[in-house]
Structure 1
Amino acid sequence: MKKVLFASTALIATAGVAAAEISFSGYGRFGIGYLEDRAQSTTVTGAGADGLMGTADDVSAVSSADTDDAILVSRFRLNIDGTAETDGGVQFSARVRMQADENAANGEANNAKLNGARFSVIYGGLRVDAGNVAGSFDNLANYYGNEVGLELFAGQYSGVDYSFLSYQSGDSAGSNAVFFQYAVGDFAFGASYDQAQVTTVAAGGLTSTTTDADRWDVSATYTFNNITAAVAYGQTDGGAGSDPSLTVLTLGAEFGDFSGTLFVADDATEVAATDGTAWGLSAAYNLGAATTLLFTYGDGNADADTQEIAVGAIYDLGGGASLRGGIGRNDCDVCEDRIQADFGAQFNF
């Protein structure tokens, strides 16, 4: 994305710092989103006589409202990056993101909110991130493939249920974790570690139990000619002998105006409804005349795995602006199938 520099001249702080700058980048999008049988929104307010939420007498007001299947969808995203580079070529940077999305449950607008900060050190092919980071899966080449729609509502990864470390936007601080990546020639290696904990609140909210839920993952990527192959493995300490894991293999290739990806995963969630194999594929074709057609398909063999199939298109208006849209179908063995579609404009800055 094109960056607008807030301070492009050198800000000398110490003898070892060559230059520093703050830059802004991001995008805006807005349009119409349709979701068949969009969920009804319900609001519960108030606390009971004990002053605590979570007991039978806590509800003082309940309001419900049917939401139209078609709503106005939007997003404003602003990345704020601060960067400094030493005389030796070591780059230090930090990022926070301001983002505002619509409330998909009721179609109302939300305020823009800041997320947790990410800090980075980059030197040559080495990169280390700390704070609100994306892990090996979130950074894996071709994991997301060619997503469809203005809202990117469909992807080849839809059959995956394992919760991996990912960069968080909006009012989420994200996980305070570390990600490492080293690239040399056609190879790239990555790893992340999240020293996480999970707190379980007992009925009534009077007692709680905290257990370790550390997550780690590793990845390797190799690019040869026009083909990129990548593999990643991750595991979470679930406690009580439960250690859910995820293994993903992706392939991506470009042939002139056509590009495609393949995706397969061993989604070992250790939960009967979601444990199994996931697979998918996606494709993009440049029709010319500034038009690109998109297709994606994702599925899994577990009962609760979501099957997504969708087609879409992007029309480039130039200057970082485009018209985007798609239509698809979501389904699983234990849920109702629903049609989803959207259309609108996106502009990068």
Structure 2
Amino acid sequence: MKKVLFASTALIATASVAAAEVSFSGYGRFGIGYVEDRSGAVTNINTSAGVVTSTGTAVVDTDDAILVSRFRLNIDGSTETDGGVEFSARVRLQADENSANGEANSAGLNGARFSVIYGGLRVDAGNVAGSFDNLANYYGNEVGLELFAGQYSGVDYDFLAYSSTGSGSNAVFFQYAVGDFAFGASYDQATLGLNGSAADADRWDISATYTFNNITAAIAYGQTDLGDFGLNDPSLTVLTLGAEFGDFSGTLFVADDATEITATDGTAWGLSAAYNLGAATTLLFTYGDGNADADLQQVAIGAIYDLGGGASLRGGIGVNDCDICADSTTQADFGAYFNF
């Protein structure tokens, strides 16, 4: 990944700063995305009396196949003290298509993330990813140019995640790695309104990861405190396993998704695999499901063809379904991806 570095008196202000830099990195992708019976919100237009006015929005069927795209630019600033402590911050500029109608969206900056790193210790603050979002092999081998299918599809618990297009949660994430072990934890607080009242909801999670030879095992637990609302506290427990054997890599995923909502409360599970065929081609497979009626089941296959220089052709096809869904839905995409 190439980085563009700028050094000036604004970045290296004093002799006590060992190293300071601003760097840019990211990726772009574009292609065709297909969702069976795609629908989205459109604006109703009234042209009576020669005057164009809006009469609200309506959900209508739109084109199943649209142009999909993403431009992502990470802007990172960092400095390191004489004692070896790194301070850094990141904001992200991102533009995506509107998946509901295929129109383009404008690019915008997200909330900032701040980090302090020393040895195996890392502390993030601001728009951060929590223990689940950082958990080894949580996402597995996702399929498609848009990564539209994953082994985690049966999970419904709302955990702390990094926001690429919004301000995110103003939270704290801690991680410490020593040898083959890594430990993580995060905490954030949100004010929620329910049944006409408002109260603070504390959300926290913890994780542990162990790598031995070519196998990585990870476990995480998280909970949201809704006691002030007189409700049971929803929680999520996830166990993942990942392994690499030459040209083959695979992951296993199982979760206790205790959402405390009948339609989504239960067990979720999944698996994924990737196989390098040679000739710059990698095949992908993913499957995710859960035993609750509203849990999303996803089955998908895909492929990546490496063009070199950080560019590739990618695509996939899969089926989405659930116990209470009227019909299953086919989804597919294909296009180009490049890092910079």
Matched, 1:316 2:306: yes
Q: Is the 8 A contact 1:10 1:20 kept in 2?
A: no
Match of residue 211, structure 1, among 165, 188, 199: 199
Separation in structure 1 between the aligned mates of residue 105 and residue 83 of structure 2, nearest angstrom: 44
Using structure 1 for the length normalisation, give the TM-score: 0.91
Query: Partner of 1:253 in structure 2?
Result: 243
State how 1:1-349 maps to structure 2 within 5 Å.
Answer: 1-7=1-7, 11-14=11-14, 16-43=16-43, 60-62=55-57, 66-170=61-165, 172-200=166-194, 209-238=197-226, 239-335=229-325, 336-349=327-340
* Aligned-partner residue type, residue 196 of structure 1: A
- AA of the residue aligned to 1:39: S
In the aligned structure 1, how far is the partner of 2:55 from the partner of 2:32? 35
Query: What is the alpha-carbon distance in structure 1 between the residues aligned to residue 239 and residue 80 of structure 2?
Result: 35
**1:9–1:20 contact (8 Å) kept in structure 2:** no
Kindly tell me the number of residue pairs found equivalent between the two proteins: 330
Q: Partners in 1 of 2:158 and 2:221 — Cα distance?
A: 13
Deviation at 1:175, TM superposition (A): 0.2
* CA positional deviation for 1:60: 4.0
For residues 161 and 133 of structure 2, the distance between their equivalents in structure 1, rounded to whole angstroms, comes to: 6
| Structure 2 portions without partners, runs of 5+ | 46-53
Q: What SS does structure 2 have at the residue aligned with 1:163?
A: coil
**How far, CA to CA, are the matches of 2:56 and 2:202 in structure 1?**
39
Q: Distance in 2 between matches of 1:23 and 1:187?
A: 30
d(CA) in 2 for partners of 1:328, 1:276? 24
Moved over 4 A (4+): 62-65
Q: How far, CA to CA, are the matches of 1:7 and 1:237 in structure 2?
A: 46
Shift of 1:103: 0.2
Q: Deviations over 1:99-127 (max 9, x none)?
A: 00000000100000110000000000000
Offset, 1:15: 5.1
The Cα shift of 1:191 comes to 0.2
What is the CA distance between 1:61 and its match in structure 2? 3.8
CA distance in 1: counterparts of 2:212 and 2:55, whole angstroms? 63
Q: Do the aligned partners of 2:43 and 2:55 also contact (CA within 8 Å) in 1? A: no
Q: Secondary structure at the match of 2:152?
A: coil
Distance 1:226 1:71, change over 3 A: same
Say whether the 8 Å CA contact 1:121–1:129 is kept in structure 2. Answer: yes
Retained in 1: the 8 A contact 2:37–2:61? no
Distance in 1, matches of 2:131 and 2:65, equals 35
Query: Following the alignment from structure 1 to structure 2, what is the Cα–Cα distance between the partners of residues 8 and 348?
Result: 27
Displacement after TM superposition at 1:20 (Å):
1.0
Give the partner amino acid of 1:186.
D
Q: How far 1:245 sits from its partner (Å)? A: 0.1
Of all paired residues, the percent bearing the same amino acid is: 82
Take 2:8 and 2:322, find their aligned partners in 1: how far apart are those partners?
A: 51
Indicate the SS of the match to 1:37.
coil
Q: Mark the CA change 1:103 to 1:8 in structure 2 (over 3 Å): closer, same or farther.
A: same
Deviations 1:224-269 (A, max 9, x none): 0000000000000123132000000000000000000000000000
Look up the match of 2:49.
none
CA distance in 1, matches of 2:308, 2:269: 35
Paired with 1:91 and 1:62, the residues of 2 have a C-alpha distance of 49
* Contact persistence 1:217–1:233 (CA under 8 A): yes
How large is the Cα RMSD of the aligned pairs? 1.8
Q: Residue 48 of structure 2 corresponds to which residue in structure 1?
A: none
> Counterpart amino acid of 1:236?
T
TM-score for both structures, normalised by structure 2: 0.93
